[in-house]
Amino acid sequence: MNSMDTPKKLIQLSKEDLLSAINGLKDVSYTVSPNFNDNAPGPGDNIIKRFMFPQPEPLLFLEREGKDMVHRPYCVISKSSLNPDDDTSHHTISDTVAETIILGIRPCDARSLWLNRLACEEDNLFSRRVDGLIIFGLLCNKGLSTCFCEDVGGGHQDVRGMDVAMIDDGDGELRLWAVSKKGLYILNRLGIYEDDIIDGLMEGATDNSHEKVGDCSLLDELMSKDMLTLYNAPFWQDIKDSCLNCGACTFLCPTCYCFDIQDEAYGKVGRRIRYWDSCMFPLFTLHASGHNPRGEKIYRVRNRFMHKFKYFIERFSHISCVGCGRCIIHCPVNIDVREVIGLMRAVS
Ligand code: SF4
Ligand code: SF4
């Protein structure tokens, strides 16, 4: 389903005016996707994952008190950026949920947020961060040849996961409208909607809940496949022969969220940190005993695709891929996830 909700009230204003209104808000930080500035087609390399799963992320501050090592929450206030070149940005944990506007992410990335929430809802840090988000999504006028969001249940004009939807016609002017109650609230705070029309608008606004399910024939098809038959399919061998296990696909993927936790000690103090990890790496599943259930490359390669297109579906009734195409663009040996999906579909 491409849920292009009927706008109840279309607003037209320039990017500069929107930015200046947001700049005037107190107690709301914001972060801008490069898409907002240049309106380049496709999702771009900068991913919402950098914000949602900071890299690295301090979890605890450790300090020796007498004979005991005590731990305290790592408490620094968040200031974040989707721009990796912005070295003033840092990502930290706050006990209070700050509101953060994300400005200009594409429908695929907005959708990745509620997909990840299915798997990560018990992750307090992720949940608090996502609860504090106000998403100004930028709909796509056209995609790249590597985009396939519609095949996996999304769409160029899909507003799910957004609070405010925006269209940039390329002339610096935006058309935007609220698609959630939170979106109405923020547009009201920005002074873009008048108070006296808010009540009427509320009727049309929805919650940007991850519970919403879109029609997707691929989902139905993959759901009907036998798990073991897919697992034992011979084509995994060919994919394994090509794959370098470099992990680029998983690090770029907005729906990959695996991590590793490490403790670092410096004399009497230390910290517990989590880092992104990848199921493509041999150490990812290495047990302390030395046993490794995915010690061979074929197991790791197969796991990446089975997780997204079978295991996740079995558990959450959604495909864990938003069709952004980043893994297709950046795989050094041209492994194309669309071709792998085709091979999985052909298994009978
Ligand atoms: S980017 Fe390509 S080569 Fe690297 S791990 Fe992913 S599929 Fe394998
Ligand atoms: S698997 Fe590839 S196309 Fe799908 S969401 Fe991840 S990076 Fe994007």
Whether the CB of 337 sits within 6 Å of ligand 2:
yes
> What value does the mean pLDDT take over residues 60-82?
63
Number of domains into which the chain is organized: 1
Query: How many other C-beta atoms are found inside a 10 Å radius of the C-beta of residue 320?
Result: 23
99-to-19, 118, 228 alpha-carbon distances in Å: 16, 21, 45
- Residue 82: band (very low, low, confident or very high) from pLDDT cuts 50, 70, 90: very low
Whether the CB of 329 sits within 6 Å of ligand 1:
no
- Residue 60: band (very low, low, confident or very high) from pLDDT cuts 50, 70, 90: confident
CA–CA dist 188, 182 (Å, integer)? 10
Closest CA to 344 of 216, 214, 217, 218: 218
Whether the CB of 335 sits within 6 Å of ligand 1:
yes
The pLDDT score that the predictor gives to residue 81 is 37
Q: Looking at the CA of 245, which ligand is closest?
A: 1
Residue 240, both tokens:
């394994």
> What value does the mean pLDDT take over residues 227-238?
97
Whether the CB of 42 sits within 6 Å of ligand 2:
no
**Which is more confident, 37 or 106?**
106
- Residue 66: band (very low, low, confident or very high) from pLDDT cuts 50, 70, 90: confident
Q: Is residue 267 part of a domain?
A: yes
Q: Is residue 269 part of a domain?
A: yes
pLDDT at 72 > cutoff 80 = no
Q: Is residue 290 part of a domain?
A: yes
Q: Is residue 321 part of a domain?
A: yes
pLDDT at 65 > cutoff 90 = no
Average the pLDDT over each of 107-116, 264-273, 329-338 and give the range with the smallest value: 264-273
Q: Is residue 5 part of a domain?
A: no
> What value does the mean pLDDT take over residues 305-309?
98
Q: Is residue 2 part of a domain?
A: no
Give the CA radius of gyration of the chain: 21
The pLDDT score that the predictor gives to residue 125 is 86
**Which residue has a Cα nearest atom 2 of ligand 2?**
327
The pLDDT score that the predictor gives to residue 197 is 46
Q: Is residue 81 part of a domain?
A: yes
- Residue to probe by mutation, ligand 2, list 149, 249, 321, 341, most atoms within 8 Å of CB: 321
- Residue 114: band (very low, low, confident or very high) from pLDDT cuts 50, 70, 90: confident
Residue 266 belongs to what domain range? Answer: 11-346
Query: How many other C-beta atoms are found inside a 10 Å radius of the C-beta of residue 204?
Result: 15
Residue 33, both tokens:
């996707």
Q: Is residue 156 part of a domain?
A: yes
CA–CA dist 173, 165 (Å, integer)? 14
**Which is more confident, 126 or 27?**
126
The pLDDT score that the predictor gives to residue 150 is 93
Whether the CB of 335 sits within 6 Å of ligand 2:
no
The pLDDT score that the predictor gives to residue 290 is 95
pLDDT at 83 > cutoff 60 = no
CA–CA dist 195, 187 (Å, integer)? 10
Whether the CB of 256 sits within 6 Å of ligand 1:
no
> 59 CA to middle of ligand 2, Å?
28
